Each structure stands twice: as structure tokens, then as C-alpha cells.
A and B are shown apart, each in its own frame.
Chain A
Amino acid sequence: MFNALKYPTPIEEAIETIAYLMSQDYLLSLPNHDYEIPKRSVALLLLQKDPIFLEKVKQKELRYSEIEKVIAATQGHFTEPLSFVIAQVRHELGAEIEKTVVTQINKPRINGNDWLHKFTVNPITGFPLLVLVLYFGVYQFVGVFGGGTLVDLIETFFEERINPVVNDITAQLIPWVFLQDLFAHEYGIITLGLRYAIAIIFPVVSTFFLMFSILEDTGYLPRISLLIDKLFKSIGLSGRAVIPMVLGLGCGTMATLVTRTLETKRERLIATLLLALTIPCSAQLGVILGLLSQNSTALFIWSGFMLVIFLGIGILANRCLPGNEPYFYMEIPPLRLPSLKAILIKTYVRLKWYFGEILPLFIAASVFIWVGKLTGLFDILINLLTPIMQALGLPKAAAPTFLYGFFRRDYGAAGLFDLQQQGVLNSYQLVVAAVTLTLFIPCIAQLQFMVKERGIKIASLIAMFVFSFAFAMGFILNLILTNLEVRF
């Protein structure tokens, strides 16, 4: 046979000996059928130190110790690990086959957009480009356009055209005011829940997902990883974590799910913590950028403070958690002009997923608020929050906002938006409220995914830490601002 896979003699001999020493057959169980694995393949897996098969063979074979000795003796013939030697033989055969079957007619144009690639990864041009991409992509497009222009447009439409109609209809259909409140008025399912979802969350999240899909399809994301890896190492993460972190600026829930792609448990833990604590999701980000954009000092203080906390917590976690720093390796795909169709489909699928997750929660939140107000539970909780609000220097009217924050952080942020519109908050209070809400407990959906991905113990530990840390930081920031008497 021309293409026969033949390993170096010591390995071939070892395969034969191990196959001879094995008394049992091994099966690969697939849903519809069990397949017998040839002894040669099992022997090869053992030589490559496959942990699953080593364990199986250890339990089943009487002559396991002899098999172990053969493996050790075979390793003695080579300086490289056996798995490496075996892989190399396979690679060589693969390359040989490639040579015989592939004909290059034209010289491949792999250097087509090399200058553009160099421009994106050279630190001198790459970092300014990254800042520009984040400024225009996240701040201008998502924050100002999505969270400002579009939100204003849809909000005004809702308040002027839909809410009055809904209020009228429910007033005609339902004679009892308390039941009207479930659907209409200040906290109704339609007038509050649906309005928040469609008018505030929808434009912000769709602009974010659109931007993320573009970054993804051009192949720019791996280049961000490459640039940022060294910085991320100081917070115990590798460049690979850029993807969940940037995604976290869109939706923390989705990002928590994506932390799966990180290599080590330690990395996944740090990423989950930072996502829960410091990374604002696009709905929050849109609303907060919208709130603070009229006041550049407030925006500067908020982003500076958040950055310090992000790095501080990351560095601390990196120092305190056991385990080694992560490695970083990543394939860098060529830069491509993305296809509009693919981007639109991706954005659509993500939006669909997102709304499937949040709409029921928004409606549930409206119902809870309705029940809470009706039974007086809401007042009790608000009273409990009032001393905390006072400690943070915030008005009592801010308490419900934080209460909504339990349901969704963005829901809370949207409530902050209403407060600002009513002119209840001064600039100190605005910054303190923005910081506290950004840090504040992750929304219910994210908490749910934290439990799913990290387990109930770690998830509740993180949640408790985030909860107390958020208010502590709000308190400290208020103290700093009032004592320094910063004017803005």
C-alpha cells in the first residue's frame, strides 16, 4: 500500500505487544450503535496517554502493569513525547498525500491584504485603530446612535401614540383600576415592560449585535486578542478572553455562556466574575452613555472608575486564585470583506435568541411590580433600600430603580433614564447611581447562566460579592466626590 500509515519500529512493536496483552474488547458507544474499536487503535491511544482509555484499560486488564511497562519502554526510544511522534508521522503522510493530489495552477495570493493585516496588528497602528473601532463602533454607533437617537425616536412614539391608546382601551375594558394597572399606567406590562423592551433595549441591542457581527466576520476579533493578550495576562486572562469580554458589552448572559471557550477553569472563573461585576451590557451601556453623554466630566469619572475597578479586581483575582497563568495561541484568519447577508442573518438570530430570553422576564418584572405594589411588599423593599440610598447620597426615588435592577440590570438602567428625564438627579447622584448600577448584581438571566456554567456555589458567592461591592463602591465614590467638591 502506498499510503500505509507506518510508525517507527519501536512504536509498531509496542502496538503489537500491547494488542497481544489485552484480553478484552473495547467498544465505542454511539446513540444508535456500539462499534468495536480495533486493538491496534486502543494500543495507539494508550501510547498517546489518552486519559479515558488508560482508565478503562486499568480497570479491565489483569496485565495492566505489563502494558504500562511497554509504554514506558517505548517512550525511552524517543526524546519527544510519544503523542508528538505519532502525530508527526501522521502529518508527514498527510503532507505527502497533499503533494500527490493537489496541483497549484496559479501562485496562491496569500499576501493580497497583507498591508491591511500588518496595519491591524502592528502595535503602533493597531492600538489607535482599536481605540477608533471601539469609539465609533461601541460609543458612537451603539451608545449615541442606538442608545440616543433611536431610543428617543421610539420612546417618543410609544409615549405619544401607544401608551395613551393602551390607557384608554384598558380604561374602557376593565372597570377596576388595580387591574388596569397590570396592563397600563406607570408600571403596566404594555406601558412599562413592553415599552422598555422595544423602545430602550431593542435599538441598543440590535445596533450592538450588528456591530459585533461585522467585527466577527471581517476577522478583526482575533487581531484584538493578539494585541491585548499581554494586557489581559495581568488580570489572569489570555487574549482569547477578548471575545466573551467584548460580547459582554452586548449581553452578559450570552458572554457568560461563551466563557466556555476559555482554556482553564481559572480563566473561566475570572471572566465570569468580571462579566458579572464590571462589564456593562449594551442595554445598560446605551442608557448610561445616553445619560452621561451630556456631561463629559461625569462620563469621564464613570469610565475611569469602572476601568480602575476592572483592572483592580482582575489583578487581585489573578494574584489570589490558585493555578497558573493561561497560555495564548490562536489562529489568525485572513481579513475579509464580510457578506451583508451573513451579517444580517447573524444579527437576526442573536436578536431572536435575546428577545426570547428577555421578553418573558420583562413581563414577569411588570407583573411582580404590580403584585409588589398591590400587596405592599414593594414598599417594604423600598424602605429597606432607602437607608442604602441615603448612604450613597441618592434620592429615595432612586430605590425602585435598584429594585428593578434585580430583574434586569438594563431594566434598572432604563429606570435611571426616566429619573434623569424627570430631573430628579444632580450630577453627583447621576455618576454614583450609574457606577453602582453598572457594578450591581447581574440580571436574572445572567445569574441563571452563571449557575448553569459555574455551579450554584460559585455563582452565589460571586453574586453576594457583587452585591456588597457595588454598594460599597457607590458609597466610596460619593464620599470622594463630596469631599473633593468636584464641580461638573
Chain B
Amino acid sequence: MFKQGFTLTLSSLELMKPGERGIVTSCKPHDETTLRKLISMGITPGVSITLEQCFPSFVIKTGYTRLALDKQIASAIHVRLTDS
């Protein structure tokens, strides 16, 4: 059996735990408007985000920006977890 040197954990933002960090792999919201908003807030694949809190809303930090999102939008953002 081959063992890879690193593990690849993919998750939606909704399932991450507070304090975890990840790199956005894709955004798949239900409609174009939300997608545009995500883009304008700078959430695009390749961007590194940290989840700070998940209740009552999701609070993430990317770069110098802090954003609040609801569960629906959080579930549309997919990330690859990195070491926190």
C-alpha cells in the first residue's frame, strides 16, 4: 500500500470547526446574485480563510476582511483544510 505524504481533507465551510483554516476550492451558491456577492467580497478559489465562529452566524476572516455569512451561503463554499 502506498501512503501519500499528506492528507487531503475537503469540506464545506458549513462543516468546519471554529479555528480551522482552509483554502477555497469552489463556490457553488444556488443563484448568480449570491455568486456575484461572493466574488465582490473576495471569496474565490485559492483564497485562504479562517473560520472564527459558526453560531449564530458563520464568521470568517480572509486577508484583512472579516465576513459574516449564514448557513446557506457557508454550505456553498467548499474548502481544502490546511493546518491551523
Residues of A bordering B, CB below 8 Å: 49, 79-81, 83-84, 87-88, 91-92, 108, 110, 117, 121-123, 222, 225-231, 233, 238-239, 263, 325, 327-334
Contacts and interface: CB of A to CB of B under 8 A. Distances in A.
Given A84-B35, A92-B46, A328 B53 contact: no
Contacts, number: 88
Given A81-B32, A84-B44, A327-B72, A121 B67 contact: no
A83 B36 CA distance: 8
A225 B53 contact: no
Given A328-B73, A333-B66, 14 more contacts: A88-B44, A91-B44, A123-B55, A226-B57, A227-B57, A229-B57, A239-B57, A327-B72, A327-B73, A328-B68, A329-B73, A331-B66, A331-B67, A334-B66
B37 interface: yes
Nearest to B27: A84
B33 to A, nearest CB: 8
Contact of A329 (B32, B41, B56, B64): B41
A332 B67 contact: yes
Among all A-B residue pairs, the 8 with the closest Cβ atoms: A328-B70, A226-B68, A87-B39, A332-B66, A230-B56, A88-B44, A226-B57, A330-B68
Interface string B32-50: 1111111101101110000
B70 A331 contact: no
B82 interface: no
Interface of B: 26-27, 32-39, 41-42, 44-46, 53, 55-57, 59, 64-70, 72-73
Nearest to B53: A121
A329 B68 contact: yes
Which of B37, B39, B46, B65 lies at the interface centre, i.e. has the most chain A CB atoms within 10 A of its CB? Answer: B39
Given A80-B26, A84-B35, A233 B70 contact: yes
A396 to B, nearest CB: 49
A229 B70 contact: yes
A83 B64 CA distance: 24
Given A87-B44, A233-B70, A329 B37 contact: yes
Given A87-B44, A91-B44, A222 B68 contact: yes
Contacts of A92: 46
Contacts of B35: 81, 83-84
Contacts of B37: 329
